[in-house]
Chains A and B, each alone.
Chain A
Amino acid sequence: MSPRPRLDHVRRPELLQAAANVIRRRGLVNARVTDVAEEAGTSAPSVLYYFSSKAELLNEALTSAEERFYEELAVRLEGVESALEQLALIVEWGAAGGDYDAALWMELWAQALRDPELAATRAELDGRWRRTIADVVSYGQERGEFGPTDPERFAVLMGSLLDGLSVQIALRDAEVTPARVRELAVTLAERELACTLPEAAGAPG
Protein backbone atom coordinates (compact mmCIF):
# COMPACT_ATOMS: atom_id res chain seq x y z
CA MET A 1 0.00 0.00 0.00
CA SER A 2 1.42 3.35 -0.99
CA PRO A 3 1.57 6.15 1.57
CA ARG A 4 -1.29 8.64 1.48
CA PRO A 5 -0.23 11.54 -0.74
CA ARG A 6 -0.19 14.91 1.03
CA LEU A 7 -2.12 16.63 -1.71
CA ASP A 8 -5.57 16.80 -0.10
CA HIS A 9 -5.61 20.57 -0.13
CA VAL A 10 -4.98 20.59 -3.88
CA ARG A 11 -7.23 17.74 -4.93
CA ARG A 12 -10.33 18.37 -2.86
CA PRO A 13 -11.23 21.82 -4.25
CA GLU A 14 -10.60 20.58 -7.76
CA LEU A 15 -12.92 17.61 -7.27
CA LEU A 16 -15.57 19.80 -5.65
CA GLN A 17 -15.43 22.09 -8.65
CA ALA A 18 -15.82 19.11 -10.99
CA ALA A 19 -18.74 17.80 -8.92
CA ALA A 20 -20.41 21.23 -9.03
CA ASN A 21 -20.13 21.25 -12.82
CA VAL A 22 -21.69 17.80 -13.04
CA ILE A 23 -24.55 18.78 -10.73
CA ARG A 24 -25.20 21.91 -12.78
CA ARG A 25 -25.40 19.80 -15.93
CA ARG A 26 -27.15 16.62 -14.81
CA GLY A 27 -28.82 17.45 -11.51
CA LEU A 28 -27.92 16.03 -8.10
CA VAL A 29 -29.87 12.79 -8.43
CA ASN A 30 -28.23 11.93 -11.76
CA ALA A 31 -24.70 12.92 -10.81
CA ARG A 32 -22.46 9.83 -10.62
CA VAL A 33 -19.00 9.47 -9.19
CA THR A 34 -17.76 8.35 -12.63
CA ASP A 35 -19.05 11.63 -14.12
CA VAL A 36 -17.14 13.61 -11.52
CA ALA A 37 -14.01 11.53 -12.15
CA GLU A 38 -14.28 12.08 -15.89
CA GLU A 39 -14.85 15.81 -15.42
CA ALA A 40 -11.74 16.03 -13.22
CA GLY A 41 -9.68 13.78 -15.49
CA THR A 42 -9.19 11.07 -12.90
CA SER A 43 -10.70 7.75 -11.86
CA ALA A 44 -13.66 6.96 -9.64
CA PRO A 45 -11.52 5.22 -6.98
CA SER A 46 -9.29 8.25 -6.65
CA VAL A 47 -12.35 10.47 -6.22
CA LEU A 48 -13.55 8.19 -3.45
CA TYR A 49 -10.07 8.35 -1.90
CA TYR A 50 -10.72 12.00 -1.02
CA PHE A 51 -14.40 11.71 -0.14
CA SER A 52 -15.72 8.89 2.00
CA SER A 53 -18.99 8.69 0.07
CA LYS A 54 -20.75 10.02 -2.98
CA ALA A 55 -23.17 11.86 -0.67
CA GLU A 56 -20.30 13.63 1.09
CA LEU A 57 -18.80 14.73 -2.22
CA LEU A 58 -22.06 15.98 -3.68
CA ASN A 59 -23.32 17.69 -0.54
CA GLU A 60 -20.04 19.49 -0.10
CA ALA A 61 -19.99 20.50 -3.76
CA LEU A 62 -23.50 21.85 -3.40
CA THR A 63 -22.53 24.15 -0.53
CA SER A 64 -18.94 25.08 -1.34
CA ALA A 65 -19.88 27.47 -4.15
CA GLU A 66 -22.23 29.34 -1.87
CA GLU A 67 -19.66 29.40 0.93
CA ARG A 68 -17.17 30.90 -1.48
CA PHE A 69 -19.74 33.55 -2.38
CA TYR A 70 -20.04 34.57 1.30
CA GLU A 71 -16.31 34.52 1.84
CA GLU A 72 -15.63 36.71 -1.18
CA LEU A 73 -18.43 39.05 -0.21
CA ALA A 74 -17.07 39.30 3.35
CA VAL A 75 -13.63 40.25 2.02
CA ARG A 76 -15.16 42.92 -0.19
CA LEU A 77 -17.26 44.30 2.67
CA GLU A 78 -14.22 44.59 4.92
CA GLY A 79 -12.66 46.97 2.44
CA VAL A 80 -15.61 49.37 2.59
CA GLU A 81 -16.04 51.78 5.48
CA SER A 82 -19.53 53.17 4.97
CA ALA A 83 -22.48 50.91 5.85
CA LEU A 84 -24.51 52.55 3.07
CA GLU A 85 -21.91 51.45 0.57
CA GLN A 86 -21.73 48.00 2.15
CA LEU A 87 -25.48 47.53 1.76
CA ALA A 88 -25.34 48.78 -1.84
CA LEU A 89 -22.69 46.14 -2.44
CA ILE A 90 -24.84 43.40 -0.91
CA VAL A 91 -27.77 44.37 -3.13
CA GLU A 92 -25.46 44.42 -6.15
CA TRP A 93 -24.12 40.95 -5.37
CA GLY A 94 -27.58 39.62 -4.58
CA ALA A 95 -28.92 40.93 -7.89
CA ALA A 96 -26.04 39.59 -9.98
CA GLY A 97 -25.17 36.49 -7.97
CA GLY A 98 -28.50 34.86 -8.71
CA ASP A 99 -27.33 33.83 -12.12
CA TYR A 100 -24.11 31.86 -12.19
CA ASP A 101 -24.90 29.39 -9.46
CA ALA A 102 -28.68 29.49 -9.61
CA ALA A 103 -28.66 25.81 -10.54
CA LEU A 104 -26.74 24.76 -7.42
CA TRP A 105 -28.61 27.15 -5.21
CA MET A 106 -32.00 25.85 -6.34
CA GLU A 107 -30.83 22.28 -6.22
CA LEU A 108 -30.05 22.80 -2.55
CA TRP A 109 -33.46 24.32 -1.84
CA ALA A 110 -35.22 21.50 -3.71
CA GLN A 111 -33.24 18.67 -2.07
CA ALA A 112 -33.62 20.27 1.36
CA LEU A 113 -37.36 19.61 1.06
CA ARG A 114 -36.68 15.87 1.27
CA ASP A 115 -33.34 15.56 3.05
CA PRO A 116 -33.13 16.76 6.68
CA GLU A 117 -29.33 16.91 6.55
CA LEU A 118 -29.39 19.20 3.54
CA ALA A 119 -32.20 21.20 5.16
CA ALA A 120 -29.85 21.87 8.09
CA THR A 121 -27.06 22.90 5.68
CA ARG A 122 -29.49 25.11 3.83
CA ALA A 123 -30.58 26.78 7.10
CA GLU A 124 -26.95 27.31 8.08
CA LEU A 125 -26.08 29.01 4.79
CA ASP A 126 -29.23 31.10 4.99
CA GLY A 127 -28.21 32.07 8.53
CA ARG A 128 -24.89 33.29 7.18
CA TRP A 129 -26.55 35.38 4.51
CA ARG A 130 -28.92 36.85 7.08
CA ARG A 131 -26.10 37.57 9.54
CA THR A 132 -24.11 39.33 6.83
CA ILE A 133 -27.02 41.65 6.15
CA ALA A 134 -27.97 42.15 9.82
CA ASP A 135 -24.37 43.00 10.77
CA VAL A 136 -24.22 45.70 8.11
CA VAL A 137 -27.49 47.15 9.40
CA SER A 138 -26.31 47.20 13.04
CA TYR A 139 -23.01 48.73 11.99
CA GLY A 140 -24.84 51.40 9.97
CA GLN A 141 -27.13 52.17 12.89
CA GLU A 142 -24.10 52.70 15.16
CA ARG A 143 -22.70 55.10 12.58
CA GLY A 144 -26.04 56.88 12.28
CA GLU A 145 -26.39 55.94 8.61
CA PHE A 146 -29.60 53.90 9.01
CA GLY A 147 -32.84 54.58 10.86
CA PRO A 148 -34.07 52.34 13.68
CA THR A 149 -35.33 48.98 12.47
CA ASP A 150 -34.79 45.45 13.74
CA PRO A 151 -31.63 44.27 11.88
CA GLU A 152 -32.68 40.60 12.02
CA ARG A 153 -36.11 41.32 10.62
CA PHE A 154 -34.67 43.46 7.85
CA ALA A 155 -32.15 40.73 7.01
CA VAL A 156 -34.90 38.16 6.45
CA LEU A 157 -36.86 40.70 4.42
CA MET A 158 -33.95 41.62 2.14
CA GLY A 159 -32.74 38.01 1.85
CA SER A 160 -36.21 36.80 0.90
CA LEU A 161 -36.72 39.57 -1.64
CA LEU A 162 -33.37 38.94 -3.35
CA ASP A 163 -33.97 35.18 -3.39
CA GLY A 164 -37.45 35.59 -4.84
CA LEU A 165 -36.11 37.91 -7.53
CA SER A 166 -33.27 35.49 -8.29
CA VAL A 167 -35.84 32.92 -9.36
CA GLN A 168 -37.16 35.27 -11.99
CA ILE A 169 -33.66 36.25 -13.12
CA ALA A 170 -32.83 32.56 -13.45
CA LEU A 171 -35.88 32.03 -15.67
CA ARG A 172 -34.46 34.84 -17.84
CA ASP A 173 -37.70 36.75 -17.53
CA ALA A 174 -37.23 39.71 -19.88
CA GLU A 175 -39.29 41.87 -17.51
CA VAL A 176 -37.02 41.16 -14.56
CA THR A 177 -33.53 42.37 -15.42
CA PRO A 178 -30.71 42.77 -12.88
CA ALA A 179 -31.27 46.55 -13.13
CA ARG A 180 -34.92 46.08 -12.21
CA VAL A 181 -34.00 43.77 -9.34
CA ARG A 182 -31.54 46.34 -8.02
CA GLU A 183 -34.17 49.04 -8.18
CA LEU A 184 -36.82 46.92 -6.39
CA ALA A 185 -34.34 45.99 -3.64
CA VAL A 186 -32.88 49.49 -3.25
CA THR A 187 -36.35 51.06 -2.94
CA LEU A 188 -37.29 48.62 -0.19
CA ALA A 189 -33.99 49.10 1.67
CA GLU A 190 -34.19 52.89 1.51
CA ARG A 191 -37.72 52.87 2.83
CA GLU A 192 -37.07 50.39 5.64
CA LEU A 193 -33.81 51.97 6.76
CA ALA A 194 -34.69 55.61 6.05
CA CYS A 195 -31.57 56.18 3.97
CA THR A 196 -30.36 56.86 0.43
CA LEU A 197 -28.07 54.19 -1.01
CA PRO A 198 -25.15 55.19 -3.23
CA GLU A 199 -24.27 53.45 -6.49
CA ALA A 200 -22.60 50.13 -5.76
CA ALA A 201 -18.84 49.91 -6.16
CA GLY A 202 -19.06 46.92 -8.48
CA ALA A 203 -20.60 43.52 -9.10
CA PRO A 204 -18.81 40.26 -8.32
CA GLY A 205 -16.19 39.56 -10.90
Chain B
Amino acid sequence: MSDPAERGARERILAAAVDRIASDGIDDMRIARVATQAGVSTSLVHYHFETREALLAEALEYSYELTGDVRIGEGEGEAADHVERLAGLMDQFLPYPGHLQKDWILYVELWLRAVRHPELRPTGVRLYGRMRDWIADAIAAGIDDGAFKPDADPVRSADRFIALADGYGVRVLIGDLDIDYARREVWAGLVHELGLPAEPPPPLDGVHEHAGSQT
Protein backbone atom coordinates (compact mmCIF):
# COMPACT_ATOMS: atom_id res chain seq x y z
CA MET B 1 0.00 0.00 0.00
CA SER B 2 2.24 2.83 -1.20
CA ASP B 3 -0.34 5.52 -1.95
CA PRO B 4 -0.59 7.71 1.20
CA ALA B 5 -4.28 8.45 0.57
CA GLU B 6 -5.09 4.73 0.44
CA ARG B 7 -3.01 4.07 3.52
CA GLY B 8 -4.93 6.85 5.26
CA ALA B 9 -8.29 5.29 4.45
CA ARG B 10 -7.07 1.89 5.59
CA GLU B 11 -5.95 3.27 8.93
CA ARG B 12 -9.17 5.19 9.37
CA ILE B 13 -11.13 2.00 8.78
CA LEU B 14 -9.02 0.10 11.29
CA ALA B 15 -9.36 2.85 13.88
CA ALA B 16 -13.13 2.95 13.32
CA ALA B 17 -13.34 -0.83 13.67
CA VAL B 18 -11.45 -0.68 16.96
CA ASP B 19 -13.84 1.99 18.16
CA ARG B 20 -16.93 -0.03 17.20
CA ILE B 21 -15.53 -3.12 18.93
CA ALA B 22 -15.06 -1.10 22.12
CA SER B 23 -18.63 0.16 22.08
CA ASP B 24 -20.60 -2.72 20.52
CA GLY B 25 -18.52 -5.75 21.41
CA ILE B 26 -16.47 -7.83 19.05
CA ASP B 27 -19.29 -10.06 17.84
CA ASP B 28 -21.59 -7.17 17.12
CA MET B 29 -19.22 -5.14 14.97
CA ARG B 30 -21.00 -4.26 11.70
CA ILE B 31 -19.22 -3.26 8.49
CA ALA B 32 -21.80 -0.59 7.71
CA ARG B 33 -21.27 1.14 11.05
CA VAL B 34 -17.49 0.95 10.64
CA ALA B 35 -17.77 2.52 7.18
CA THR B 36 -20.00 5.34 8.47
CA GLN B 37 -17.64 6.11 11.30
CA ALA B 38 -14.57 6.04 9.03
CA GLY B 39 -16.38 8.28 6.52
CA VAL B 40 -15.98 5.79 3.67
CA SER B 41 -18.31 3.57 1.66
CA THR B 42 -18.86 -0.08 2.56
CA SER B 43 -17.39 -1.02 -0.81
CA LEU B 44 -14.13 0.70 0.14
CA VAL B 45 -14.09 -1.32 3.36
CA HIS B 46 -14.55 -4.46 1.30
CA TYR B 47 -11.82 -3.31 -1.10
CA HIS B 48 -9.31 -3.15 1.77
CA PHE B 49 -10.64 -6.10 3.74
CA GLU B 50 -12.13 -8.94 1.80
CA THR B 51 -14.16 -10.38 4.64
CA ARG B 52 -15.47 -9.30 8.02
CA GLU B 53 -13.10 -11.81 9.59
CA ALA B 54 -10.10 -10.23 7.85
CA LEU B 55 -11.10 -6.78 9.08
CA LEU B 56 -11.58 -8.10 12.62
CA ALA B 57 -8.24 -9.84 12.68
CA GLU B 58 -6.39 -6.79 11.40
CA ALA B 59 -8.27 -4.41 13.66
CA LEU B 60 -7.35 -6.53 16.65
CA GLU B 61 -3.72 -6.72 15.60
CA TYR B 62 -3.76 -2.96 15.08
CA SER B 63 -5.32 -2.32 18.49
CA TYR B 64 -2.99 -4.76 20.24
CA GLU B 65 -0.07 -2.81 18.83
CA LEU B 66 -1.71 0.49 19.72
CA THR B 67 -2.62 -0.60 23.25
CA GLY B 68 0.88 -1.92 23.71
CA ASP B 69 2.41 1.31 22.49
CA VAL B 70 0.21 3.40 24.75
CA ARG B 71 0.83 1.24 27.77
CA ILE B 72 4.50 0.88 27.08
CA GLY B 73 5.21 4.43 25.91
CA GLU B 74 3.55 6.52 28.61
CA GLY B 75 4.17 7.04 32.27
CA GLU B 76 7.89 7.37 31.85
CA GLY B 77 10.24 10.31 31.86
CA GLU B 78 8.62 12.32 34.65
CA ALA B 79 9.45 9.86 37.42
CA ALA B 80 12.02 10.98 39.96
CA ASP B 81 13.21 7.51 41.00
CA HIS B 82 12.63 3.78 40.51
CA VAL B 83 9.77 3.59 42.99
CA GLU B 84 7.92 6.43 41.30
CA ARG B 85 8.63 4.99 37.87
CA LEU B 86 7.21 1.61 38.89
CA ALA B 87 4.08 3.30 40.25
CA GLY B 88 3.75 5.18 36.96
CA LEU B 89 3.97 1.91 35.02
CA MET B 90 1.37 0.37 37.30
CA ASP B 91 -1.06 3.18 36.57
CA GLN B 92 -0.80 2.46 32.85
CA PHE B 93 -2.14 -1.02 33.60
CA LEU B 94 -5.25 0.09 35.49
CA PRO B 95 -8.56 1.16 33.89
CA TYR B 96 -8.59 4.84 34.82
CA PRO B 97 -11.55 6.67 33.28
CA GLY B 98 -10.72 7.99 29.82
CA HIS B 99 -8.55 6.31 27.23
CA LEU B 100 -7.20 3.68 29.62
CA GLN B 101 -10.73 2.53 30.37
CA LYS B 102 -11.56 2.28 26.69
CA ASP B 103 -8.37 0.33 26.03
CA TRP B 104 -9.38 -2.00 28.80
CA ILE B 105 -12.78 -2.77 27.34
CA LEU B 106 -11.08 -3.61 24.08
CA TYR B 107 -8.59 -5.66 25.98
CA VAL B 108 -11.27 -7.88 27.49
CA GLU B 109 -12.80 -8.32 24.03
CA LEU B 110 -9.40 -9.36 22.73
CA TRP B 111 -8.95 -11.98 25.42
CA LEU B 112 -12.34 -13.35 24.54
CA ARG B 113 -11.64 -13.44 20.85
CA ALA B 114 -8.22 -15.01 21.28
CA VAL B 115 -9.70 -17.86 23.29
CA ARG B 116 -12.16 -18.71 20.51
CA HIS B 117 -9.78 -18.00 17.64
CA PRO B 118 -6.40 -19.69 18.11
CA GLU B 119 -4.91 -17.73 15.19
CA LEU B 120 -5.12 -14.56 17.31
CA ARG B 121 -3.28 -16.04 20.28
CA PRO B 122 0.25 -15.31 18.99
CA THR B 123 -0.66 -11.61 18.83
CA GLY B 124 -1.83 -11.74 22.44
CA VAL B 125 1.22 -13.66 23.55
CA ARG B 126 3.45 -11.12 21.79
CA LEU B 127 1.76 -8.25 23.60
CA TYR B 128 2.10 -9.97 26.97
CA GLY B 129 5.75 -10.69 26.17
CA ARG B 130 6.38 -7.00 25.50
CA MET B 131 4.64 -5.98 28.71
CA ARG B 132 6.58 -8.57 30.70
CA ASP B 133 9.88 -7.31 29.26
CA TRP B 134 8.93 -3.71 29.93
CA ILE B 135 8.10 -4.30 33.60
CA ALA B 136 10.97 -6.75 34.15
CA ASP B 137 13.45 -4.24 32.68
CA ALA B 138 12.19 -1.51 35.02
CA ILE B 139 12.54 -3.87 37.99
CA ALA B 140 16.00 -5.06 36.90
CA ALA B 141 17.15 -1.43 36.56
CA GLY B 142 15.90 -0.75 40.09
CA ILE B 143 17.78 -3.79 41.41
CA ASP B 144 20.99 -2.66 39.66
CA ASP B 145 20.71 0.78 41.25
CA GLY B 146 20.11 -0.69 44.70
CA ALA B 147 16.54 0.69 44.87
CA PHE B 148 14.93 -2.79 45.03
CA LYS B 149 15.99 -5.93 46.88
CA PRO B 150 19.06 -7.57 45.28
CA ASP B 151 17.58 -11.08 45.35
CA ALA B 152 14.32 -10.12 43.58
CA ASP B 153 13.42 -12.03 40.42
CA PRO B 154 12.41 -9.41 37.81
CA VAL B 155 10.52 -11.78 35.48
CA ARG B 156 8.53 -13.52 38.23
CA SER B 157 7.68 -10.18 39.81
CA ALA B 158 6.61 -8.85 36.41
CA ASP B 159 4.37 -11.88 35.80
CA ARG B 160 2.67 -11.54 39.16
CA PHE B 161 2.33 -7.79 38.68
CA ILE B 162 0.64 -8.15 35.27
CA ALA B 163 -1.69 -10.87 36.52
CA LEU B 164 -2.72 -8.80 39.54
CA ALA B 165 -3.27 -5.74 37.37
CA ASP B 166 -5.46 -7.79 35.00
CA GLY B 167 -7.40 -9.50 37.78
CA TYR B 168 -8.04 -6.33 39.78
CA GLY B 169 -8.45 -4.21 36.66
CA VAL B 170 -11.30 -6.28 35.26
CA ARG B 171 -13.12 -6.03 38.62
CA VAL B 172 -12.68 -2.25 38.62
CA LEU B 173 -13.94 -2.10 35.05
CA ILE B 174 -17.09 -3.96 36.00
CA GLY B 175 -17.66 -1.61 38.94
CA ASP B 176 -16.95 -4.23 41.59
CA LEU B 177 -13.88 -2.62 43.13
CA ASP B 178 -12.66 0.91 43.65
CA ILE B 179 -9.62 1.84 41.56
CA ASP B 180 -7.67 3.29 44.50
CA TYR B 181 -8.16 0.05 46.40
CA ALA B 182 -7.02 -1.96 43.36
CA ARG B 183 -3.99 0.28 42.98
CA ARG B 184 -2.92 -0.24 46.60
CA GLU B 185 -3.41 -4.00 46.36
CA VAL B 186 -1.48 -4.46 43.11
CA TRP B 187 1.30 -2.47 44.70
CA ALA B 188 1.12 -4.52 47.90
CA GLY B 189 1.68 -7.64 45.79
CA LEU B 190 5.22 -6.39 45.08
CA VAL B 191 6.08 -4.69 48.39
CA HIS B 192 7.82 -7.65 50.04
CA GLU B 193 9.71 -9.10 47.14
CA LEU B 194 11.06 -5.76 45.90
CA GLY B 195 11.34 -4.03 49.28
CA LEU B 196 9.00 -1.17 48.33
CA PRO B 197 7.36 1.39 50.63
CA ALA B 198 4.04 -0.03 51.90
CA GLU B 199 1.96 2.64 50.11
CA PRO B 200 2.51 3.59 46.46
CA PRO B 201 3.43 7.21 45.67
CA PRO B 202 0.41 9.22 44.42
CA PRO B 203 -0.52 8.85 40.72
CA LEU B 204 1.30 11.21 38.35
CA ASP B 205 -0.68 14.06 36.83
CA GLY B 206 -2.43 13.00 33.67
CA VAL B 207 -3.68 9.59 34.70
CA HIS B 208 -6.62 11.29 36.42
CA GLU B 209 -7.25 13.87 33.72
CA HIS B 210 -10.61 12.47 32.67
CA ALA B 211 -11.62 11.21 36.07
CA GLY B 212 -14.06 14.05 36.69
CA SER B 213 -16.21 13.30 33.69
CA GLN B 214 -17.21 9.77 34.68
CA THR B 215 -18.18 7.95 37.80
The A-contacting residues of B in range 153-206, CB under 8 angstroms, are 156, 159-160, 162-168, 170-171, 173-177, 185, 188-189, 192
Q: Tell whether A176 pairs with B25 under 8 Å between CB atoms, given A109-B170, A163-B166, A171-B124.
A: no
The answer to whether the Cβ of A10 comes within 8 Å of any Cβ in the partner chain is no
**What separation, in Å, do the CA atoms of A110 and B104 have in the docked complex?**
11
**What separation, in Å, do the CA atoms of A168 and B124 have in the docked complex?**
9
Q: Is the CB of B174 within 8 A of A171?
A: no
Q: Is the CB of A172 within 8 A of B125?
A: yes
Name the CB-closest residue of A to B104.
A113
Q: Is the CB of A175 within 8 A of B132?
A: yes
Contacts of B177 in A (CB 8 A): 156
Choose from B25, B171, B185 the contact partner of A29 (Cβ within 8 Å).
B25
Q: Per DSSP, are chain B's interface residues mostly helix, strand or loop, or mixed?
A: helix
Q: Is the CB of B114 within 8 A of A161?
A: no
Total A-B residue contacts, Cβ distance less than 8 Å: 121
Q: Is the CB of A107 within 8 A of B112?
A: yes
Name the CB-closest residue of B to A184.
B160
The B-contacting residues of A in range 91-115, CB under 8 angstroms, are 102-103, 106-107, 109-114
Choose from B116, B121, B176 the contact partner of A123 (Cβ within 8 Å).
B176
Contacts of A184 in B (CB 8 A): 156, 159-160, 163
Name the CB-closest residue of B to A119.
B174
The answer to whether the Cβ of A164 comes within 8 Å of any Cβ in the partner chain is yes
The A-contacting residues of B in range 113-139, CB under 8 angstroms, are 114-116, 118, 121, 124-125, 128-129, 132
Choose from B125, B159, B160, B170 the contact partner of A163 (Cβ within 8 Å).
B170
Q: Is the CB of B159 within 8 A of A180?
A: yes
The answer to whether the Cβ of B105 comes within 8 Å of any Cβ in the partner chain is yes
Name the CB-closest residue of A to B176.
A123
Q: Tell whether A156 pairs with B174 under 8 Å between CB atoms, given A107-B112, A110-B112, A171-B114.
A: no
**What separation, in Å, do the CA atoms of A103 and B165 have in the docked complex?**
20
**What separation, in Å, do the CA atoms of A84 and B168 have in the docked complex?**
25
Q: Is the CB of A161 within 8 A of B28?
A: no
Contacts of B175 in A (CB 8 A): 119
Q: Is the CB of B111 within 8 A of A171?
A: yes
Q: Is the CB of A160 within 8 A of B108?
A: no
Q: Tell whether A109 pairs with B25 under 8 Å between CB atoms, given A168-B163, A171-B124.
A: no
Q: Is the CB of B111 within 8 A of A162?
A: no
The answer to whether the Cβ of B109 comes within 8 Å of any Cβ in the partner chain is yes
Q: Is the CB of A167 within 8 A of B171?
A: no
Q: Tell whether A106 pairs with B115 under 8 Å between CB atoms, given A123-B174, A156-B177, A171-B124.
A: yes
Q: Shortest distance in angstroms between A176's beta carbon and chain B's nearest beta carbon?
A: 7
The answer to whether the Cβ of B144 comes within 8 Å of any Cβ in the partner chain is no
Name the CB-closest residue of B to A183.
B156
Q: Tell whether A160 pairs with B111 under 8 Å between CB atoms, given A103-B116, A165-B163, A171-B124.
A: no
Q: Is the CB of A162 within 8 A of B174?
A: no
Q: Is the CB of A29 within 8 A of B167?
A: no
Q: Is the CB of A161 within 8 A of B160?
A: yes
Name the CB-closest residue of B to A23.
B116
The answer to whether the Cβ of A143 comes within 8 Å of any Cβ in the partner chain is no
Q: Is the CB of A106 within 8 A of B112?
A: yes
Q: Is the CB of B25 within 8 A of A161?
A: no
The answer to whether the Cβ of B27 comes within 8 Å of any Cβ in the partner chain is yes
Q: Is the CB of B28 within 8 A of A156?
A: no
The answer to whether the Cβ of A24 comes within 8 Å of any Cβ in the partner chain is yes
Choose from A30, A162, A171 the contact partner of B27 (Cβ within 8 Å).
A30
- Give the A-binding residues of B (Cβ under 8 A): 25-28, 105, 108-109, 111-112, 114-116, 118, 121, 124-125, 128-129, 132, 156, 159-160, 162-168, 170-171, 173-177, 185, 188-189, 192
User: Top 4 A-B pairs ranked by shortest CB distance?
Assistant: A160-B167, A164-B163, A29-B27, A164-B167
Q: In the complex, given contacts A164-B165, A184-B156, what are 12 additional A-B residue pairs having Cβ atoms less than 8 angstroms apart?
A: A122-B174, A156-B168, A156-B185, A157-B185, A161-B160, A162-B167, A163-B166, A164-B168, A165-B159, A171-B124, A175-B159, A176-B128
